Amino acid sequence: MYSIKNLIWLADKMKAHKISLFLLCALVAACSESHPLESISSSGHIAFCGKTANSDRFDIYLLDLTTHSIKNLTKEFIYNIDNSFGHSIGCSDDMTPYRISGLEWAPSGDLLIVNASEPFLTIPYVMEISLDGKVISITRQRSMSPNEANILEWPNEYSWSPSEDVVAFVGVNKPDGFQNLFIGDLSNWKNSADAGKILQITNIEQDWPGIIYSPSWSPDGQKIAVSINRHSSGVAILSKDGESSVFVTNGNYPQLSSVSNPTDPWINVKPSWFPDSKSLVFIGAISKDSRTALFSINNDGTELRLLIPNGVSNPVVSPSGDSIAYIEYSSHEINTIGRIVIVDTDGNHKKIIATIKPDNFFALKKYYIRDLSWSPDGKYLVFTSNKSGQFQLYLVSVNDSQLFQITNFDGNAVNPKWRPTYYDNLP
């Protein structure tokens, strides 16, 4: 570490040898450099999926915003790809937007559900995490009966009920079948692999109203919303007992359009509920060209409202329910400028709080910002971006638009999940 006196002496020496003043400036910056998290007025834990440069699979990591430490939660339980967790955990190798499955905190913040790929199946695990970030237990979920093997072959995209006794997930209901929504009884999942029954909520065997993605449980625990895909556009709002359902699609709502490209990468975004559970927002289409319009609707399927006609990705309602954040790109072409945007609940008063420009225009794919979500206190938005070549985690302050890179991970860090209600549990 250089003192100011030493730097002045060094400057004189540098002049004598005609060394650039630029080097002196770099040394001063190095002397005053602080950890990127020291400027953040927040605390808590963020879980994320990480794949280091020398690893052939993902692990689950925990970032502590107070101590600035990153801990691998799964490494000590896994030694090779043939045991326990298998090859990939909670993530997807292709790293395309919204293709990550698993990794969801329970509402109390003490449990994580994650996916792990075993030789021929994807199996959910529940991890119990202490308040100081230590793994208490990891439980492999369910010993499958023959008639359940198809349902559990590719479970993904989980959503905990507020009571934490059940979890909604997407699975297939028969070989080569369409994805449907299921609810698993989690009454024993914390302690035993012998979980309770599975309830199938939807039974969609055809390409209408589409394939179901990304379940999102209402805060009051009464309903589950899921995105609709393929050529259809919209959202399904389902009761937790499977007795009632509302399909808000282009087939019965004229404001919505079908889409010409059923593999549009914008589709896999969770519907986002307002805190009172009376309404939610979702992504739909108003033309066949793209599925990037932001809609809101009441929980009974009434009062469909177009908030923003295009350019919206990954919308999330704030914890207070008074604003909506989303990702916006200047176009759908490679290497376009991305933005983090906040609007009022009616879609007005747009405020750009961060503009993300790629550092390397030759190394990037499309859609290099993703996984946007709010901190529990509503002060920050966390997201992941590979603007510098590899995916890292970033925070942006909602009040003053300060942008922080919070990881310098040796590889790709994706799918950040802020530990919910962590502040309430602190001693």
pLDDT digits (tens, 9 = 90+) for 188-235: 544 444 445 677 888 776 655 567 788 999 999 999 999 988 888 899
Per-residue pLDDT at 61: 92
> Has residue 14 got a pLDDT over 50?
no
- Looking at the fold, whether 28 and 115 belong to one and the same domain comes out as no
Question: 241 near 224, Cβ under 8 Å?
Answer: no
In a domain, 211, yes or no: no
Q: Where among 143, 175, 205 does a domain terminate?
A: 205
Of the pLDDT bands very low, low, confident and very high (cuts 50, 70, 90), residue 126 is: confident
Question: 339 near 307, Cβ under 8 Å?
Answer: no
In a domain, 409, yes or no: yes
Lowest mean pLDDT among 124-138, 195-209, 285-299, 338-352: 195-209
> pTM to 2 decimals?
0.82
- Looking at the fold, whether 159 and 131 belong to one and the same domain comes out as yes
Q: Is the dihedral of CA 241, 271, 169, 166 positive or negative?
A: negative
Rounded Cα distance between 315 and 232, Å, is 19
pLDDT digits (tens, 9 = 90+) for 233-275: 899 999 988 888 999 999 899 999 998 876 665 555 789 999 9
Per-residue pLDDT at 46: 94
Per-residue pLDDT at 86: 44
- Looking at the fold, whether 363 and 420 belong to one and the same domain comes out as yes
Distances from the Cα of 425 to the Cα of 136, 319, 422, angstroms: 16, 17, 5
- The percent of residues above 90 in pLDDT, for the chain, comes to 34
Q: Write out the two tokens for 235.
A: 């959202």
Phi, psi of 97 (to 5 degrees): -60, 135
- Looking at the fold, whether 405 and 341 belong to one and the same domain comes out as yes
In a domain, 218, yes or no: no
- Looking at the fold, whether 6 and 96 belong to one and the same domain comes out as no
In a domain, 306, yes or no: no
Rounded Cα distance between 233 and 253, Å, is 10
CATH number of residue 323's parent domain = 2.120.10.30
Question: Taking residues 282-307, what's their average pLDDT?
Answer: 94
Question: 189 near 195, Cβ under 8 Å?
Answer: yes
> Has residue 293 got a pLDDT over 90?
yes
3-state secondary structure of 360: coil
Rounded Cα distance between 159 and 352, Å, is 29
- Looking at the fold, whether 53 and 119 belong to one and the same domain comes out as yes
- Looking at the fold, whether 54 and 84 belong to one and the same domain comes out as yes
Residue 306 β-bridge partners: 295
Whether the upstream peptide bond of residue 209 has omega within 30° of 0, thus cis, is: yes
In a domain, 223, yes or no: no
Q: Where among 205, 236, 262 does a domain terminate?
A: 205
Per-residue pLDDT at 225: 96
Of the pLDDT bands very low, low, confident and very high (cuts 50, 70, 90), residue 286 is: very high
Q: State which residues form the domain around 346.
A: 313-427
> Has residue 297 got a pLDDT over 90?
yes
Q: Where among 160, 188, 205 does a domain terminate?
A: 205
Residue 124 β-bridge partners: 115
* Number of structural domains in the chain: 3
Rounded Cα distance between 182 and 163, Å, is 17
- Looking at the fold, whether 71 and 2 belong to one and the same domain comes out as no
Q: Write out the two tokens for 263.
A: 């593999």
pLDDT mean across residues, the chain: 76
3-state secondary structure of 7: helix
Q: 417: part of which helix (H) or strand (E)?
A: strand 411-418
In a domain, 251, yes or no: no
In a domain, 295, yes or no: no
pLDDT digits (tens, 9 = 90+) for 40-86: 656 789 999 888 888 767 788 999 988 889 999 887 664 444 444 44
Dihedral angle of Cα 239, 110, 422, 275, to the nearest 10 degrees:
0
pLDDT digits (tens, 9 = 90+) for 93-102: 444 333 445 7
Rounded Cα distance between 399 and 364, Å, is 29
CA atoms within 13 A on the CB side of 73: 31
Rounded Cα distance between 15 and 65, Å, is 42
243/37: higher pLDDT: 243
pLDDT digits (tens, 9 = 90+) for 356-399: 877 765 545 555 788 899 999 999 999 988 887 788 999 999 99
- Looking at the fold, whether 155 and 52 belong to one and the same domain comes out as yes
- Looking at the fold, whether 107 and 175 belong to one and the same domain comes out as yes
Rounded Cα distance between 18 and 24, Å, is 12
Question: Taking residues 168-193, what's their average pLDDT?
Answer: 67
- Looking at the fold, whether 55 and 200 belong to one and the same domain comes out as yes
In a domain, 280, yes or no: no
Lowest mean pLDDT among 1-5, 60-64, 150-154, 402-406: 1-5
- Looking at the fold, whether 22 and 51 belong to one and the same domain comes out as no
